[in-house]
Amino acid sequence: MRRLFVFGVTASMVGLALLAACSNPVQSQGPSKQAVGAAAKGGAEHQFAGFSTKRSFDEALANALRQMDEAMAQQEVPDNMATWRVVEITGRSGGIAGLDRLQVKIAAEYQARADKKAPGQ
């Protein structure tokens, strides 16, 4: 019984955190400060955005990761590995159009060939 209570409280806290993040949409134009800093240092940080019209974090994250995987495949680097993080979660709901959209942006670092421009950069 105690485990169910702890699980319920934890799930509620995660749900509230996601709701708070989605209820305060932030419009981002251009690369983040971290991406600009990484580029200035010679690093390769790439950003990808995934969307869901069902308010599904999992679906939006999966879409962003799929884009990252496709970009990495274009680099043709054997055994390429990425390190990624979620940099932004935004949502937009309502209006006359009846919008209902969740967006997850990730920043990823992976090896890119010098002779190919990496997508998402």
| DSSP state, residue 30 | S
Its pTM stands at: 0.60
Per-residue pLDDT reduced to its tens digit, 43-101: 579 999 999 999 999 999 999 999 999 999 998 888 889 999 999 999 999 999 888 99
Per-residue pLDDT reduced to its tens digit, 5-56: 444 544 444 454 444 444 444 333 344 444 444 443 445 799 999 999 999 9
CA 89 to chain centre: 7
- What is the rounded CA–CA span in Å between residue 80 and residue 110? 7
| DSSP state, residue 98 | T
Q: Which ranges of the chain would DSSP assign to H, the alpha helix? A: 2-23, 33-40, 57-74
- Tell me if residue 52 falls in helix, strand or coil: strand
